[in-house]
Amino acid sequence: MSYLYLHDYSKPMKKLSLILSAAMLLLFAACEKKTKTPSDPGDPNVTGKTNQQIFMIQPWTMSSWVDSSSAGVVNNMESCNLDDYYTFKTTTSYEVNQGSNVCAGSPQTQNNPWAMSSASANQVTMFTWVWDIVTITGGKIVITNKQFDNTLSDYRYSTVTFVRKK
């Protein structure tokens, strides 16, 4: 006599499904990119402010511009740029002030365009490219960009960090 054993796999599968769902939820929560958490007690409170308002709330200093690709990592900051500061004067124009260490051939101040599709958008257009806003607080803004570099035949990943001008 042969017996056919049937096992109810529905309970273990439900548990597995629940565990996988919880893991995916935690993974997505951990990957949440944008933050408005203050990083320094001297930073302005940006609670309730839109991303556009945070850009415009104060002057910013670019602390780094790093490009990476298969060719390596390059810091694009020249020493004469380290004291430059950026003031987002209107929703379409920002001013770069060269500070006391003016780069050769550069004017003391220069106005440049910038744009956001809406005041709360998570992307900003500046330096002629569209950037993703990764971090935005009263003391720090980090934007990233991915562009195909024809000379390398590879993608170039750029990260620019602005900090509150002190």
Structure tokens at 110: 């220069």
- The percent of residues above 70 in pLDDT, for the chain, comes to 77
CA-CA distance, 105 to 90, in Å (whole number)? 26
CA-CA distance, 138 to 165, in Å (whole number)? 11
Asked whether 116 and 109 are in contact (CB, 8 A), the reply is no
Above 90 in pLDDT, residue 143? yes
Asked whether 50 and 56 are in contact (CB, 8 A), the reply is no
pLDDT of residue 21: 41
SS3 content of the chain, % helix, strand, coil (to 5): 20, 35, 45
Sequence-separated (6 or more) residues with CB below 8 Å from residue 165: 58, 59, 60, 61, 85
Structure tokens at 157: 């990943």
As a whole number of Å, the CA-based R_g of the chain is 23
Q: What is the pLDDT of residues 27-41, one digit of tens each?
A: 333 444 455 555 677
pLDDT of residue 27: 38
This prediction has a pTM of 0.76
Q: 97 to each of 14, 72, 82, 100, 110, how far by Cα in Å?
A: 60, 30, 11, 9, 7
Mean pLDDT of 93-98: 97
Q: What is the pLDDT of residues 35-87, one digit of tens each?
A: 555 567 789 999 999 999 999 999 999 999 999 988 889 998 999 999 999 99
Complete domains list, the chain, with CATH: 51-164 (2.40.128.280)
